[in-house]
Amino acid sequence: MIFLTTIGTPLTKNATKVLLCGSGELGKEVAIELQRLGVEVIALDRYENAPAMQVAHRSYTIQMTDGAALRAIIEKEKPDFIVPEIEALATNTLIDLEKDGFKVVPSAKAVSLTMNREGVRRLASKTLGLKTSKYDFAETEDEVRAVAQKLGFPCVIKPIMSSSGKGQSVLREESQISKAFEKSQREARGGSGKQMKVIVEEFVPFDYEVTLLTIQSVSGTVFCEPIGHVQINGDYRESWQPQKMPPKVLQKARKIAEKITKALGGYGIFGVELFVKGNDVYFNEVSPRPHDTGMVTLISQDLSEFALHTRAFLGLPIPCEKKKMKKKMKQKNKMKNSAKVVRLNAPSASKAVFREGTSNQISYSGLENALKENDTQIRLFGKPDITGERRLGVALAKGKTVKKARKKAKAVDQKIIVKTE
């Protein structure tokens, strides 16, 4: 029996409701895609006038780790889908709400496991047998020292709960441990003043890092072309699509991505982060939601990662092409080594618009010059304030090659004038 997706009318009794847990720039794009499909959108975040709140039907401001406050709003609104956009959430409350019959996207298990590096790393390496860097967990500075000595220097230390590279350090010698451990505790999420466990990992001198956007939906497992990116202090600064990869390596990457996303369960898009060294592919992390490096899909594909995520959890099909991994192979292996891939329109790039300052009156100019060239776009997120350095927008470009697209995207960013006085 085939069940068809039915969408009601916003602000009526038959509305299809989606509640966003987190209302940043990624949530804003999801909200826009939902609005296009006539879905009623409720946005939540810890601060007022967050980007997605500006395009939602209504919004609430709460501490997202406050389980009682989160449950109260969800029981009041009775959404058809609860869509997390951030890591710092009351995940135990989401698990309980799912047991009560609410639908968490892609699943409460996926959200809970990926919020905590310990849970997802054990799932990947122990349960699924995926290749990862060598690692161990530690709760004290002395334990970090012991693990680091076992793994050898350099190695990497991260809090088990954080985002955008916060609390992360590369340890090149033993004398750096005290300072790095203090940073991991200061910048961890969800600790509430308690000492936070950390993961200490072998440093993998990888050739490049990729994000493989993987969609689980009624269409099965579908991939976007691999995305390369540059990070500074754990924050995404540039991304491009496609990242060039040998066919055998791409095949390995897709197998890893399919295994981890199927194990997490549910429909939606997953940002699977992978390290590539030679012909080896290492699983790093996975986000059960649109990925910041995937903002390049706003220009590279007809359906961005946000549109794909929305289609997936609403139960709608994902248009894709069957791509074979090798040009020459035996007939019986052709289907085995093929993959469903979202069509890429052209080599494309994104450049995050980072600026520094202190203001609640941010203004933008120079857009006329920034947008003069063909195949360029800008997204300004509408963030209400800035203290220190913050990502305020993204510059997008297409080109004949990835190199040309990256050059154009950087030029667009450079021409945007941001006033933070």
State whether 197 and 217 are in the same domain. Answer: no
CATH of the domain at 49: 3.40.50.20
State whether 76 and 143 are in the same domain. Answer: no
Whether 36 is in a domain gets the answer yes
State whether 330 and 213 are in the same domain. Answer: yes
Scored b (16 or more CB within 10 A) or e, 14-43 reads: ebbbbbbbbbbbbbbbbbbbbeeeebbbbb
Whether 409 is in a domain gets the answer yes
State whether 296 and 177 are in the same domain. Answer: no
Enumerate residues 6+ apart whose C-beta is below 8 A from 377: 298, 299, 371, 395, 396, 397
**pTM, entire model:** 0.93
State whether 237 and 319 are in the same domain. Answer: yes
State whether 228 and 325 are in the same domain. Answer: yes
Domain boundary among 311, 341, 371: 341
Here the tokens at position 377 are 């776009």
DSSP label at 57? S
State whether 223 and 324 are in the same domain. Answer: yes
State whether 148 and 166 are in the same domain. Answer: yes
Whether 4 is in a domain gets the answer no
Whether 114 is in a domain gets the answer no
Whether 363 is in a domain gets the answer yes
Residues recorded for the chain:
421
Whether 77 is in a domain gets the answer yes
**Number of domains comprising the chain:** 4
State whether 178 and 232 are in the same domain. Answer: no
Whether 70 is in a domain gets the answer yes
Domain boundary among 149, 167, 202: 202
State whether 256 and 237 are in the same domain. Answer: yes
> Could you list the pLDDT tens digit for every one of the 421 residues in the chain?
345 789 999 999 999 999 999 999 999 999 999 999 999 999 999 999 999 999 999 999 999 999 999 999 999 999 999 999 988 889 999 999 999 999 999 999 999 999 888 889 999 999 999 999 999 999 999 999 999 999 999 999 999 887 767 888 999 999 999 999 999 999 887 655 568 899 999 999 999 999 999 999 999 999 999 999 998 877 899 999 999 999 999 999 999 999 999 999 999 999 999 999 999 999 999 999 999 999 999 999 999 999 999 999 999 999 999 887 655 444 444 446 689 999 999 999 999 999 999 999 999 999 999 999 999 999 999 999 999 999 999 999 999 999 999 999 999 999 999 999 7
**In contact, 57 and 17? CB cutoff 8 Å:** no
- Helices marked H in 268-418: 297-300, 305-314, 331-334, 367-370, 402-415
Domain range for 164 is: 134-202
Q: Is the dihedral of CA 380, 381, 386, 389 positive or negative?
A: negative
Residues recognised as catalytic: 163, 165, 273, 285, 292-293, 391
CATH of the domain at 145: 3.30.1490.20
State whether 254 and 376 are in the same domain. Answer: no
Enumerate the β-bridge partners of residue 271: 213, 287
Domain boundary among 186, 202, 218: 202
CATH of the domain at 241: 3.30.470.20
State whether 192 and 95 are in the same domain. Answer: no
Whether 6 is in a domain gets the answer no
- Rounded CA separation 275/369 (Å): 37
